[in-house]
Structures are given as structure tokens and as C-alpha cells.
Amino acid sequence: MSKSIEELKSLTTQIRRDILRMVHAVNSGHPGGSLGCTEYFTALYGKVMNYKLPFTMEGKNEDLFFLSNGHISPVYYSTLSRFGFFPVSELATFRKLNTRLQGHPTTHDNLPGVRIASGSLGQGLSVAIGAALGKKLDGDQSLVYTLHGDGELQEGQIWEALMFAAAKKVDNIIATIDYNGRQIDGDTDDVLSLGDLHAKL
């Protein structure tokens, strides 16, 4: 679903509006990380990924996306709705009782676009690597994309997954890190420095 640069700019602005409206309406949520990743999501769904609608969990012969830092759900939900996965009107139910749009994405309510529950940090890369290996076994040439917070990289499971991916030559996955230097407890360097992240990766 490739869009023009002007369309992407307009969508980026609209998604930012959605984020602020959703979080403000319930006085709850994580607007910072969501606002900081808006261009990423708009480009990913509007230009980069090859995906099909209606959504299926199998995702055969299409690119897959896994959100690992699930607390930035406002930007995820807005993007999915604006790109036709579910009605935009459903954004008004964010974090309310009996909604499909929980504070962290879940799968039990079958919200189109969501493939994993990502409330606990550090797990998305492992799941995505499994999906990437599954694609290799199926002869599927599509890619798997993931997004992670830099504070999330303090989770040990991330490094186990990275070591596994390198050892098994998993080359059909693209993991992006929102490297903004901040986490809920302060600067990442003060909480637990990631060191030379470029060299480690």
C-alpha cells in the first residue's frame, strides 16, 4: 500500500492527533514514545512493508510486523486504523472497559494487525525470529520487521535472541531500535547504559 510523500506527511500529522486524543480522553497511556515513532510507523505501513488486507494471522507471502515495546500502542492502533485494518471510530475506545484497544496490544480479541501480546518488554524479537525462520522453511521471501525501545534492550532475552539470530544467520528480519536515550526512570545511560550499541549489534 505505497503512498506518496505528501500523503505520508498528512497521515503522520493525523496519527499524532489521534495519539493525543486517545491518551487525553482517558488520561492514561504513553504519548512520548508514540509521538517519537510516528514517522517510523507511517513509512513502514505506507511505503516499506508489503502486506495484505483483510488481515490474517498466518501472513503468508507478506511482510510481518511485531511491536515489542507494546506500551506505545497509541501510535500502533492509530496507524493500523488509518491504513484500513479496522475502523478509525474504534480509536475512541482506547483503554476503556471491554475494548479491543488495551493499553498494551493483546491477541485474545482478534484486533486486526496485532500478532502478539506485547505487554512484557523484551519478547518481540524472539517471536519475530521464530516467524522469520518459519518463512524460510516455507520458502516465503517476505521480511519480518520489529520495533524496540532502547530501554527495552536492558532485557536479557533481547541479547539471547540477537545471539541466536547471528548464529543461525537469520537474514530476513529487520529490527529497529527507538534509540532516544530515555526510559520511564530517566536517561538510559543513568539507569543501565547500553554501551557501544552499534558495535554490539
Give, rounded to a whole angstrom, the gap between the first and last alpha carbons of the chain: 31
Q: Report pLDDT for 124.
A: 97
Amino acid at 195: G
The answer, yes or no, to whether residue 160 has pLDDT greater than 70, is yes
**Each residue of 165-178: pLDDT tens digit?**
999 999 999 999 99
Name the least confident of 20-29, 163-172, 180-189: 180-189
Set of cell numbers at residue 195: 554501551
Where are the domains positioned within the chain?
5-200
pLDDT (tens digit, 9 = 90+) per residue, 116-147?
A: 999 889 999 999 999 999 999 999 999 999 99
Q: Domain 5-200: give its CATH code.
A: 3.40.50.970
Provide mean pLDDT across the span 42-65.
Answer: 97
Contacts of 63 (CB under 8 A, 6+ apart): 48, 49, 50, 51, 142, 143, 144, 145
Averaged pLDDT, 31-50: 97
Which of 104, 31, 97 minimizes the C-alpha distance to 73? 104
pLDDT at position 100 is: 98
Question: pLDDT tens for residues 101-121?
Answer: 999 999 999 999 999 999 889
Q: If pLDDT is split at 50, 70 and 90, which confidence band does 185 have?
A: confident
- pLDDT classification of 186: cutoffs 50, 70, 90: confident
Q: What is the pTM of this model?
A: 0.96
Across the chain, mean pLDDT equals 96
pLDDT exceeds cutoff 80 at 1 = no
